[in-house]
Amino acid sequence: MYDQPSSPYRIFLIPILLIFWGFVIVTAFRANPFLFQSQTLINSITHKKIEQQHPFPKPDHHLVKIQVDHPKELPEYQYTAPDSQRWSRKLALQKVQPLNFPDLKDVKYRLTSSDMFFWSSHSSIFYARPIEIDDRTEESSSAWSFQFVESEIPRNDPLITDQFVILTTSYKRIVVLVRKTGQLLWSLTVDYDIQQSPALIEQQLLVSLYDDETQQSYLKSFDLVNGTPGTFHLELSGRLSAPLLYHSDSHSLFVATEERELLHVQTPSGDILWKHTTPSKVVTQPNLIDDQLLINTADQTTYSLKLMSPEINWDYKLKGIAQHPFIVIPSSHFVAVMTDGGYLHTIDYKTGKGVWRFNTQAKAQTSQIAAVRFSNQVIEERELKWHYKGWSIWAPCVENRICMFNPSEGNLIGRLSTAGELASMPLFSSDHKRLLILLKNAKDQIAKKAYDWGLGSYIELSQYKQELEDAQKKAEEEKAQAKAAAAQAKAAAAPTAGGPPESAPQSENRESDDP
């Protein structure tokens, strides 16, 4: 049909094609020398990277340089109690100082001697406010807030050191902020969910991560200052059931898992010194006291283990599940803990025998308790034993009350009324002249269903009720003179905050002494 003309260029076609395909083949094999081998190119070029990365990417060093100057926005705050006032059990409400806190649902807080940190699992903002409970001369920090990415929320309790605030978030992110200014030091997104609060091992941040797919937990260390991955690495099966406990003297770590395993791990090597299977999972951070480890388990029992070998010293049956680690009462062998039923237990940790137990009937948000030392005058007045140097146990009790207990006898030696429901245990100034308590705010009380908890105010308490009442009366009188008659009547009818000192209802509330 069609007579194809012969092209004069055809003679060059074959060499050109040969050169072209030669070039293609050589280039292809230079680009991938493993085509005819079982090894694959993708693995060979990522091998080193995977080794270095697995399972964590390198942190964001580049975030170290942020410089932010926050202006000081201290809340309005005045304290008028005279220095001559002394501490006693007769405490009364002196002043309620409302602060413009944002409305937060399920608010959580952390009080330190100079700052208050608060956050919520419903908000992507972490707040810090200075408090001035102490007359300290050092520079006070200023208020700041840190906003995460939208819908990113804080997870676990923050780790707060002198210099840094370490947060973990729902976006698998570790965020390290400068405590005074709130500026971002570094942040790091890790591969897995972060469970429990981070722990600090000298200058290393220890983070526990959980891989849902493999159901493995990873403990991994990072440099606190710049986020560089550390050498510590430990893999465990199952989630962690309680926060980590680091013992600096023995350079070791205690880890409890949901699989009922309690591990004693050497740092930084990660060697497991011993492993103990507990009858039930550990629910609170362990306590380490005099070479023995106290653990609270979900089966409502406290176990004491030896530090160097997992032998059980003693066990003690609690009434309810412990909500926090034990507090240690100084100058005694006593430890105390509060359980979910509101029972306050005091145990002699040397013998493992219960000293006493008390149903506080607490209805407060917090189940934290504290060990507080009274003045010599109070020891005398309340017939406390000098042997225990005035130490008492403070715990929330009944409704809007803090009860003070004699640690050796369990009798109620004092009670403190508050203007609202307790949200925290008191924070004392170093001279014990002042204290600060967080209360549930009035808004919450009105709209309990809408808001579970909120911080709307903090109050100061001072000792002499009479003085306070006098001061209040005086203030009211001054006000009454200045204002109209109707306002005067209103001011006079206002209830005196704090109320009269109440007698200790030790007999009616006391359930039983154990033993």
- Chain residues that interact with another protein, rule: CB under 8 A: 2, 4, 24, 27-28, 31-32, 34-35, 38, 40-43, 45-46, 48-49, 52-53, 58, 60, 62-63, 65-68, 70-71, 73, 142-150, 152, 182-184, 187
**Alpha-helical runs (H) found in 54-197:** none
Query: From the CB of 442, what's the least distance to another protein, in Å?
Result: 26
Do you find a cis peptide bond into 268, omega within 30 degrees of 0?
yes
Do you find a cis peptide bond into 515, omega within 30 degrees of 0?
yes
Query: From the CB of 57, what's the least distance to another protein, in Å?
Result: 9
DSSP state of 441: -
For another protein, the closer CB: 121 or 512: 121
For another protein, the closer CB: 145 or 163: 145
Residue 45, classed as helix, strand or coil, is: helix
Tell me the chain's radius of gyration from C-alpha atoms.
31
Query: From the CB of 49, what's the least distance to another protein, in Å?
Result: 4
For another protein, the closer CB: 49 or 449: 49
Query: From the CB of 41, what's the least distance to another protein, in Å?
Result: 5
Distance CA 180, CA 128 (A): 9
For another protein, the closer CB: 25 or 492: 25
Query: From the CB of 114, what's the least distance to another protein, in Å?
Result: 18
For another protein, the closer CB: 65 or 387: 65
For another protein, the closer CB: 176 or 318: 176
Distance CA 197, CA 284 (A): 12
Determine the Cα angle at 443 with ends 442 and 447, to 5°: 120
Question: What are 12's two structure tokens?
Answer: 């060059």
Strand order in the sheet with 154-160: 154-160, 164-169, 173-178, 184-189
DSSP state of 361: -
For another protein, the closer CB: 142 or 302: 142
Query: From the CB of 178, what's the least distance to another protein, in Å?
Result: 10
- Tally of helices (H runs) and strands (E runs) in the chain: 7, 33
Distance CA 365, CA 180 (A): 28
Query: From the CB of 107, what's the least distance to another protein, in Å?
Result: 18
Query: From the CB of 45, what's the least distance to another protein, in Å?
Result: 4
For another protein, the closer CB: 150 or 249: 150
Residue 47, classed as helix, strand or coil, is: helix
For another protein, the closer CB: 184 or 491: 184
CA distances from 298 to 263, 325, 341 (A): 17, 13, 14
Query: From the CB of 142, what's the least distance to another protein, in Å?
Result: 8
Distance CA 405, CA 332 (A): 14
Cβ atoms of 339 and 321 within 8 Å: the answer is yes
**What are the DSSP calls for 123-137, one per residue?**
-SEEEEEE---S---
